[in-house]
A = this chain, B = another copy of it.
Amino acid sequence: MVSFTCDYNEGAHPLILKRLAETNLVQEAGYGYDSFSESAREKIRAAVKTPSADVFFISGGTQTNATVIDALLKGYEGVIAVHSGHIAVHEAGAIEFSGHKVLELPAHDGKMDATELEDYLAAFYADPAWEHMVIPGMVYLSFPTEYGTIYTKKELSEIRGICLKYRLKLYIDGARLGYGLASEGCDLALEDFPKLCDAFYIGGTKVGALCGEAVVFPDKAPEHFFTTVKQHGALLAKGRLTGIQFDTLFTDNLYLEISRNAIERALEVKKLFTEKGIPLYIDSPTNQQFPVLTEKQMEKLDGKVLFEIWERLPGGSCVTRFATSWATSREDVEILKSVL
């Protein structure tokens, strides 16, 4: 049996485990003050070509989103996201838990439309009752989105421009950032992100790490961000755990290399479906593919290939999700091919 249910089915890239074992008994300070974390921060600053950037490691994605958004917003502000954005749906209300409303816009294949954003903001401030409403303080985007799609540089720049015009922060959730950067049509490089937003995170959990995300503040972190991280329960005592992992991922370009594997496998998977005439719900260039399978097709896979049901359609078909990752092998794809 092979599983395509998600991009966190396996442990960590073997080089990470090797590094953990090699350094295991070296004594280091806690809370990110260890030399591994410092080295990882340096490598990330180099990779994003922003020497002055502040970098923090947090154990998971929801944690990271909740902490960064709370730190960047004022108490009375909310965050704008598309209807299918992770913070709007699948974080159990973690943003609201910190007191902030998620203000929803429509999603277009998972993406926010710049015009709709600007219309929303113009309408907001034109509304005579705006002072009685949650004031938008930030735009949240996922790159890639929850539907595997990506923004172009032009699209991101437009949204950034609107944010600047309306004094909004822009924050990008890069849970799968590597898979976006490694995808074919992507015209953005890692170094573009610091210029385009106020904060973003480089996802580790889904891209080769056991856990951990690297938050990058291009300018400088909100004051006392360390304390805010602790307040949110998001500070790892053994900061070395995330330090070593990101130090490894950002050595010899490992992060992008293993991301490329996911994309290559995803395109093979995509080809399998299209060759069979199976329609794709969305044309995703990244590691998540969304074939629409009939009941019969799903039965054939039953017990041999695992995948996720995304949405049930009238008539018994389903939008399904097949995710590849740094760990997906050609053999995994072969198995899928053999039973499709």
In A55-90, the 8 Å CB interface with B consists of 59-67, 70-71, 74-76, 78, 89-90
Is there a chain B Cβ closer than 8 Å to A267's Cβ? no
Partner of A211, one of B134, B230, B238: B238
Give min CB distance, A223 to chain B, whole Å: 7
1/0 contact trace for A1-43 toward B, CB 8 Å? 1110110111110100100110111111111000000000000
Query: Contacts A131-B226, A211-B237, A227-B92 given: A27-B8 contact, CB under 8 Å?
Result: no
Measured between beta carbons, the chain B residues less than 8 angstroms from A98 are 97, 99
B96–A227 CB distance below 8 A: no
Q: Are A59 and B231 in contact (CB under 8 A)?
A: no
- A77 → B minimal CB distance (Å): 8
A265 interface residue (CB < 8 Å to B): no
Q: A233 and B76 in contact (CB under 8 A), knowing A11-B238, A29-B5?
A: no
Is the CB of A282 closer than 8 A to any CB of chain B? Answer: no
Residues of A at under 8 Å CB distance from B?
A: 1-3, 5-6, 8-12, 14, 17, 20-21, 23-31, 59-67, 70-71, 74-76, 78, 89-94, 96-102, 104, 126, 128-129, 131-135, 205-206, 210-211, 223-224, 226-228, 230-238, 240-241, 306, 308-309, 312, 327
Knowing A60-B233, A89-B133, A92-B231, the reply to whether A20 touches B17 (Cβ < 8 A) is yes
Let me know if A26 and B8 touch, CB within 8 A.
no
CB-defined contacts of A78 to chain B, threshold 8 Å: 93, 96
Mostly, the A contact residues are: loop
Q: Tell me how far the C-beta of A226 lies from the nearest C-beta in chain B, rounded to whole angstroms.
A: 5
Q: A30 and B6: CB pair below 8 A?
A: yes
Which of B17, B94, B226 makes the CB contact (< 8 A) with A233? Answer: B94
Closest to A205 in B: B237
Measured between C-beta atoms, what is the minimum distance from A291 to chain B in Å?
A: 17
Which of A5, A101, A126 gathers the greatest number of chain B CB atoms within 10 Å?
A: A101
